[in-house]
Structure 1
Amino acid sequence: MSSEVDHNVVAAPADWRARLKQIGPGIMAAATGVGAGDLVATMVAGSKYGYTLLWAVIIGTAFKLALGEAVGRWHLTSGQTILSGWRTLGKWALWYFGVYAVIWGFVYGATAMSASGLPLNALFPFLSVRYWAMLCGLAGFALVWYGRYAILEKVMTAFIGIMFVTVVGTAFLVAPNLGDVAWGLVPRLPDGSLVYVLGLIGGVGGTITMAAYGYWTIAKGWRGPSWLPMMRTDNAVGYLTTGVFVIAMLIVGSELLAGHEVVTGDKGLLTLGDTLAADYGEWARIPFLVGFFAVAFTSVIGVWNGVSLLFADWWRTLRAPSDEAGEKVEHRQLEGSRAYRGYILWLTFPPMVLLFLDQPFQLTVAYGALGAFFMPFLAGTLLVLLNSRRVGADGRSGWISNTFLVACVALFAYLAYDQLVGLFE
């Protein structure tokens, strides 16, 4: 991966080979967005319905591709960050994000640390999940506090490699039935499957970190419409990789756990590790738990950096005079700000209080409910911004992008409603 560059002297790559060398932000966004909870939900769907819902994973990947492309296109063609764009919609959009980010960060900090601590506790039980979680939080804190984007990108790429080998390797290990896999591409809705279909479509790497994608393109030095082909290649590689991970977990759930009652929550993945050990030996369990840790810890690194950049830009945009709010912002400017470092502290230390509840599953439920309220906001505001005069003709959404964005608004609004109803049942 290349390091941060001066966009004034580096031109956009002209061919696909040169583009592959620049890939990075898409991997960051996609790996961050897929956590242990997403993999558990996919595993449960596989155990209940086999490969029948594979088509929903494909559609979910397409939705995230469309959202990621829209975020990147706004940054490259408007010359403004997404927070500056939200300010043009009114102060209400800024306050919605700010309040949401503070509440979400408190719950997510505990959720991500807990998910990272679970596999370490299974591998090294001399420490409880709580204390492994705290150590993971401190490790993520130190890495993001002292590390630059180029370093974080390399670390995330290494973890992606571990995830690919372990999770996809496990799918090959259980020897899927290719005929059943192909039949799963045909859209069907078995009785009682609607909630799982919506979860699979909405959960393939979809979180607040999707909005951070534009800031990682800034860190790479991508500026202007000439970088659109590069951004689209990068975004596609990131979310196609995510789609492969989720399909692999659906295969594992279908082959190993069909007809079995699966424990929900992050501990469901530990149950799967025990099943692998019983069927194939301990040598299969350990790599899987290592992959589980990689999935969880990439979310710690990505959120601690990406959402902190969002929060730093929110603070900058909120306080800036109207004529300065849309000015070009540099990545280093945000990374060195007090708001950036303050949000890293907020993600790390106050949430440790929640770890003493020893309820990782309840944390995951609360995080899922909160997460559902950001995605319709992101999709809806992008739909408005990218069909307005805030961007030039090269940044406007065509009918394909608009169709996906409208579908995303409808889907995520329904998921938010479903989560809200579920909290009061």
Structure 2
Amino acid sequence: MGEKAGTAPSGKWRHIGPGLVVAATGVGAGDLVATLIAGSRFGYALLWAAIVGCVVKIALSEGSARYHLATGSTILAGWRSLGRWTSWYFGIYVVIWGFIYGATAMSATALPLAAMFPALPLWGWAVLSGLAGLMFVWFNRYALFETVMKLLVGTMFVIMVGLAILVAPSLPGLLSGLTFIMPEGSLLYTMGLIGGVGGTVTTAAYGYWCQVKGWQGPGWLPLMRLDNTVAYTVTGIFVIAMLIVGAELLHASGIALQAGDRGLIDLSDVLEVRFGPVIATLFLVGFAATAFSSILGVWHGMSLFFADWYYQARGQTVPDDIERSPAFRAYMLWLTFPPMLLLFAQQPFMLAVIYGAFGALFMPFLAITLLLLLNSSRVPADCRNGWLANITLTGSAALFLILAGQQILSLMG
């Protein structure tokens, strides 16, 4: 717990941190690929969708953290007040999500490491990545965790934005992406950029990072909002940089990337041909920083989330030192070791289908429950939603319901 509860300090800028943590956690290798492919197929036409996506995530993470600070409780306690079904829903979701996400995050981090250091196979780097994340979070507390996450954010930001500058974006072309036009065949990419970039369930973990940093009480709301806005502004610039790379380097040359994280290895090959091995290697370093920041963020943030759920479900008091609690560490172990089985075998089909369905349904669940909680007497009157928050969250809920329907239809297909 870093600062005095109830009172925000002076010198706000030097206290910024939890927002950068949630933003770095939310932007993973899959987001990089999705943005690059959107740029490679449609140029700058979907730039507006990436910006709208960041605005949506600002609203969701701000709402989650506002509930924490305004009530002194947690978003999970708020969900439980809406009915015990919410606890069952989250419990099932977080177990399935953690099992598959653990393997996905470890594999994504392993890809650039195996490309730079091929002495170890991909699965070897994946195992080491998971163990490194486990050991770091196990033995360190939030203050050092936040510092390392800021370093990873700085690394990925400088490299990716530098790469966008290197490929010399066309300013008129860039501005044309603010016209809210959807080219033919771009619907799924548009909605994916709005719904996926910047995190899903990890946006709801923002309040936990605010609390573990020591931000408690409504007096911290202005600092939290500044922190959150700065973080997603950085995310927005990062995403725009990737769209520029896709548009300038790939769209103009007619180059197509593979779907999935391996598409980033394709891009490193393109960069090596165009700019030489140094630039290609720097890109792989930025790729590795992006992927590993997601490992650290999920291993820490979702373990906080799980520990809160576990103790509340058992009717027990959540320990003050939650980062050393048995439930926190148990979920870290769950994220690390069982998913390693998926590194050596194909993912079971039914598990993947269930995970996809739960994943699609979480974001509308978050948006709708925030609307219910933040307009109710559970929150002090001066901390409830205003008209802008209600419009943004309502639009987010509608968007995510459409995305959920499309995801479930594709799974059924």
Relative to the length of structure 1, the TM-score reads: 0.93
**What is the DSSP-based 3-state SS (H/G/I as helix, E as strand, rest coil) of the residue aligned with 1:388?**
coil
Is the contact made by 2:60 and 2:204 (CA closer than 8 Å) also made in structure 1? no
CA distance in 2, matches of 1:301, 1:366: 25
Give the counterpart of 2:111 among 100, 118, 128.
Answer: 118
Give yes or no for contact 1:78–1:395 (8 Å, CA) kept in 2. no
Q: Is the 8 A contact 2:25 2:199 kept in 1?
A: no
Check conservation: 1:108, 1:367, Cα contact below 8 A.
no
In the alignment, what sits opposite 2:167? 174
Which of residues 401, 406, 411 in structure 1 aligns to 2:399? 411
Cα 1:127–1:369 shift into 2, 3 Å: farther
* Contact 2:54–2:194 under 8 Å retained in 1: yes
Alignment of 1:103-142 (within 5 A): 103-142=96-135
SS, match of residue 372 in structure 1: helix
Map of 2:331 onto structure 1: 343
Letter in 1 for 2:282: P
Q: 1:67 to 1:153 in 2, by over 3 A?
A: same
**What do the CA deviations read for 1:69-110 (whole angstroms, capped 9, x no partner)?**
101110111111111111101110011000000000000000
Q: Name which of 244, 251, 256 aligns with 2:249.
A: 256
Where does residue 221 of structure 1 map in the other structure? 214
Could you tell me the percent identity over the aligned residues?
57
1:320 and 1:263 map into 2 onto residues whose CA distance is: 47
Post-superposition Cα deviations, 1:251-291, rounded to whole Å, max 9, x if no partner, equal 00001111322211000011001000000111110000000
- Picking from 8, 13, 16, the partner of 2:9 is 13
Which of 251, 262, 266 aligns to 2:261? It is: 266
Q: In the alignment, which residue of structure 2 is the partner of 1:22?
A: 15
Letter in 1 for 2:336: T
Q: Is the 8 A contact 1:130 1:358 kept in 2?
A: no
In the alignment, what sits opposite 1:284? 279
Residues 353 and 411 in structure 2, CA contact (< 8 A), matched pair in contact too: no
- Determine whether 1:376 maps to 2:364: yes
TM-score when normalising by structure 2: 0.96
Task: Output the amino acid matched with 1:90.
Answer: G
In structure 2, the gaps of 5 or more residues are: none
* Aligned-partner Cα distance in 2 for 1:59–1:296: 23
User: How many pairs align?
Assistant: 409
Q: Which amino acid aligns with 2:217?
A: G
Q: Following TM superposition, by how much is the alpha carbon of 1:374 offset from its aligned partner in structure 2, in angstroms?
A: 1.3
Aligned mates of 2:355, 2:236 — CA distance in 1: 22
Counterpart of 1:373 in 2: which secondary structure? helix
- 1:393 counterpart residue number: 381
Cα deviation code 1:232-255 (max 9, x no counterpart):
000011111111111111000001
The structural deviation recorded for 1:364 is 9.7
Letter in 2 for 1:307: M
Q: Which amino acid aligns with 1:404?
A: T
In 2 relative to 1, CA 333–47 (structure 1 residues): closer, same or farther, beyond 3 Å? same
Whether the 8 Å contact between 1:37 and 1:364 is mirrored in structure 2 is no
**Native 8 Å contact 1:204 1:243 kept in 2:** no
User: How far is the alpha carbon of 1:175 from its aligned partner?
Assistant: 0.6
> 1:312 aligned to 2:300?
no
Q: Is the 8 A contact 1:111 1:364 kept in 2?
A: no
1:420 aligns with 2:405: no
Counterpart in the other structure of 2:343: 355
Deviation at 1:365, TM superposition (A): 9.6
> How much does 1:194 deviate?
0.7
Match of 2:293 among 289, 298, 322: 298
Whether the 8 Å contact between 1:265 and 1:364 is mirrored in structure 2 is: no
Change beyond 3 A, Cα 1:345–1:378: same
Residue 402 of structure 2 aligns with an amino acid whose one-letter code is Y
Kindly state the Cα deviation for residue 366 of structure 1 after the two structures are TM-superposed. Answer: 8.5
Q: Which of 153, 163, 183 is 2:156 aligned to?
A: 163
Q: Is the 8 A contact 1:43 1:253 kept in 2?
A: yes
Cα distance in 1 for partners of 2:222, 2:86 equals 29
Shift of 1:336: 2.0
- Distance across 2 between alignment mates of 1:368 and 1:61: 22
1-structure distance, mates of 2:354, 2:132 = 24
Give me the whole-angstrom Cα distance separating, in 2, the residues matched to 1:70 and 1:233.
13
The worse-fitting range, judged by mean Cα deviation, of 410-419 and 99-108 is: 410-419
1:334 is matched with which residue: 322, 332, 336? 322
CA shift for structure 1 position 208: 1.0
